[in-house]
Structure 1
Amino acid sequence: MTQPIGEEFQIPKPKVLGPRNDPLDIIQTRLRTHGRPASIAGPMVRYSKLPFRQVCRHYDVDIVYTPMILAREFVRNSHARMADFSTNKGDAPLIVQVGVNNVSDLLKFVEMVAPYCDGVGINCGCPIREQIREGIGCALIYNPDLLCSMVSAVKQKYGEKLRLETKIRIHENLDETVTLCKRLCDAGVDWITIHGRTRTTRSSVPANFEAIKYVVDRLGDKHVPIIANGDCFSRQDLQRITEITGVDGVMAVRGLLNNPAMLSGYDTCPWGCVELFWHYALEYGGLPYQLLQHHLFCMLENMQLKKSLLKKLMTIQCTAELLDWFDENFILKRHGEPGFAVQKDIPYK
């Protein structure tokens, strides 16, 4: 989005979906076309911004999500719109995830973002107490009437012109999850992502893939595609999770923050990710310095950068100083230079 949305702004029509950018088509055909399930970079609060999304696309990620955007703020506040969402023509297929608790805000939100994305995902998995108190995130899996009414409202208005996903967690009673998924299918959802933890399960506890398999097995042959989420930290995990659960694709989240190339088979983050991230961060601009710094820290820590250099990195206060520090300590190639973004190991000077 490059233009503010206000009373005088004419909202364009939704994007035209085709084989290259229709996320549902990609999910349904990846096993046949690529010999692997669909790979998805899930939403991370603050971190799934445009520069990072573009890096992930270089490394066998089929579909990428934005961070969760609160509908009530987005539809009412132009500053929130400018801060929360940026994209470009190369940012596809793109799913914009929304935190929402009513049909009216959701329809307004979808109208605003539909011209700039390929689908919208309703967040039904965020376990943060503040969000749950407002009826957002995990609260929605315990309010199926509201959730299904929101899905129906969007699909009745947009049909096949816009894809709609719901990202849920499992219930303590798995049969409740089965029932919810069946209702979502009837409401018209295009696919469902299931996180293999309950609302109260900590991330340190392994994801329950047998629970996802239980749900998939009981949905029968006519259900929409199911994506598994949780504990995907390598390409091997993507295959393993698919084999256990029988899903159509796998969503990775935390693992990509440390190693955006992991779904290409890299066990550790390659230096090429660092060069790509620098390129996109400077090319697109608008990324808060602390976020840029932390992305680089996560990647370099995964690459086992010398601890003394990691500590120094976190003391630097601005982008210009950080870029100078990289040039002093490493061979940091720029876009257009021979060998840009192909180096695997850290090129110390």
Structure 2
Amino acid sequence: MSISELVKIPKPKILSSRNDPLHIIRTRKTTHNRPATIAGPMVRYSKLPFRQVCRDYDVDIVYTPMILAREFVRNNNARLADFSINEQDSPLIVQVGVNNVADLLKFVEMVAPYCDGVGINCGCPIKEQVREGIGCALIYNPECYVRWSQLSNKIMGTALRLETKIRIHEDYDQTVDLCRRLSDAGVDWISIHGRTRTTRSSQPVNLEAIKYIVEKIKDKNIPVIANGDCFKKCDLREIAEVTKVDGVMAVRGLLANPALFAGYETCPWGCVEKFWYYTLEFGGLPYQLLQHHLYCMLENMKLEKNLLKEMMDVKNTAALIDWFETNFIFKRFGEIGFGEGSTIPYRRK
């Protein structure tokens, strides 16, 4: 069966210098004197309200959560739960977890009109995903992986960008070989998480490995993004200086402090107010995710522990709004000073 028989991509968005992620990655060092800043994919947590908060604080490119292709292409409920956007949600990369080419091509067909690029997840180390041939399993199946990339690139052309996110092998030269083959297959840029499949997140990211890989594929002229252990803006500078990459991706760091790329050492109160606003404005965020996002931000701000515990005992959105109103000076959109505060504005009795 030919590619054209497998998939027919509807008219995609038109990429401009403003929303073309590849253009942004290639030019940020010249235009902003820094590498591109990227909010990486987090399973469940990279949904629209959080993405919008990140964009308000110097994030250039944002990813969706990893979306499982097999569910997305078959189940309308899965599509509604996993993927929502608006006109401001750009540039946007939709990340896909996939273990067969038919699902991949169908997935690309379905999301093409609503994003600026597709990223193939080859970095997820979760055992259940690896057993099914998803995530990290793919870096040990390069023939299949490279072929999928070739097919995806052929149907996407220049109308949609193709990215892939990988982890490193124990033997760095295996990763170098994979990156060179992916470049030849037409991948637009490669994101490298500086840990192996079995390296725990508590162990430091291996910047020297990323540096080695970048140096070895320099002749391919393909941008590389570094991922791992970016928790403060100073980490952005260090990662860029050591590895010489074109962009830096943060994940856990942004979950705790969406303003880290804007230079805030801890999460500013404005992030909390904006996150509340976008969540209520856009809708569709399960209560448990709302609560956990707020917990991560407020813990980063060193909210009093008794209040953190109280917040986690609140059972629904309406009650949580009341709890915020009781404990803090909680500004709404349109009020003077909304989204501008830095420290926690306790409402003391």
The TM-score, its normalising length taken from structure 1, stands at: 0.96
- The reply to whether residue 253 of structure 1 matches residue 248 of structure 2 is no
Q: Determine the structure 1 residue equivalent to 2:308.
A: 310
2:180–2:220 CA contact under 8 A, matched in 1: no
User: Whole-Å Cα distance in 2 between the matches of residues 286 and 140 of structure 1?
Assistant: 32
1:259 Cα deviation (Å)?
A: 0.5
Offset from partner CA, 1:122-147 (integer Å, 9 cap, x none): 00001111111111100000111111
Equivalent residue, structure 1, for 2:216:
218
Match of 1:86 among 66, 84, 87: 84
Aligned to 1:100: 98
Partner of 1:163: 161
Q: In 2, Cα distance between the equivalents of 1:136 and 1:162?
A: 22
What's the counterpart of residue 344 of structure 2? 346
What one-letter code is carried by the residue in structure 1 that aligns with 2:213? V
Partner amino acid for 1:147?
Y
How far residue 223 of structure 1 moved from its aligned partner, in angstroms, is 2.9
Amino acid in the other structure paired with 1:16: I
Inter-partner Cα distance in structure 1 for 2:190 and 2:196: 16
Deviating above 2 A after TM superposition, structure 1's stretches of 4 or more consecutive aligned residues are 220-223
**What residue in structure 1 maps to residue 40 of structure 2?**
42
Percent of aligned positions that are identical: 72
TM-score (norm 2): 0.96
> Contact between 2:164 and 2:187, CA under 8 Å: does it hold in 1?
yes
1:284 to 282, 304, 318: 282
Name the amino acid aligned to 2:107.
F
Instruction: Measure how far apart 1:103 and its partner are.
Output: 1.3
Asked if 1:127 corresponds to 2:125, the answer is yes
The question of whether the paired residues in 2 share the 8 Å contact of 1:38 and 1:62 is answered with yes
| AA aligned opposite 2:133 | G
Give the Cα separation in 2 of the matches to 1:124 and 1:145.
13
The alpha-carbon deviation at position 221 of structure 1 amounts to: 2.8
Q: Give the aligned partner of residue 50 of structure 2.
A: 52
Q: Distance in 2 between matches of 1:150 and 1:90?
A: 30
Letter in 1 for 2:150: S
Q: Give the aligned partner of residue 192 of structure 2.
A: 194
- Comparing 194-203 with 149-158, which one deviates more in the overlay? 149-158
In structure 1, distance between residues paired with 2:67 and 2:326: 38
Do the aligned partners of 1:182 and 1:223 also contact (CA within 8 Å) in 2? no
Contact 2:331 2:337 in 1 (8 A): yes
Q: Please give the secondary structure, in 1, of the residue aligned with 2:248.
A: strand
Give the 3-state SS of the residue equivalent to 2:137 in structure 1.
helix
Q: Which residue number corresponds to residue 7 of structure 1?
A: none
Aligned to 1:208: 206
SS at match of 1:314: helix
Q: Where in structure 2 are there 5+ consecutive unaligned residues?
A: 1-7
- State whether residues 183 and 220 of structure 2, in contact with CA within 8 Å, keep that contact through their aligned partners in structure 1: no
Q: Tell me how large the CA RMSD over aligned residues is.
A: 1.0
Deviation at 1:220, TM superposition (A): 2.6
- Code of the residue aligned with 1:33 in structure 2: it is T
Task: Render the CA deviation track for 1:84-109: whole Å, top value 9, x for unaligned.
Answer: 10001100100000001111111100
- Compared with structure 1, are the counterparts of its residues 89 and 346 closer, same or farther at alpha carbon in structure 2 (3 Å cutoff)? same
Q: Provide Cα deviations, 1:11-49, integer angstroms capped at 9, x if missing partner.
A: 841111001100000000001111110000000111101
CA distance in 1, matches of 2:145, 2:177: 13
For 1:158 and 1:288, the matched residues in 2 are separated by: 33
Q: Deviations over 1:33-88 (max 9, x none)?
A: 11110000000111101000000000010000010000011001111111110001
Unaligned runs of 5+ residues in structure 1 are: 1-9
Deviations 1:273-329 (A, max 9, x none): 000000000001111101101111111111111111111001100000000110111
Residue number among 21, 28, 38 corresponding to 2:19 in the alignment: 21
Number of positions where the alignment pairs a residue of Structure 1 with one of Structure 2? 340
2:9–2:155 CA contact under 8 A, matched in 1: no
3-state secondary structure, aligned to 1:221: helix
Cα distance in 2 for partners of 1:26, 1:220 equals 19
Secondary structure in structure 2 of the residue aligned to 1:175: helix
Check whether the contact 2:146–2:185 (CA below 8 A) recurs between aligned residues.
yes
CA apart distance, 1:245: 0.4
Question: Match of 1:313, SS?
Answer: helix
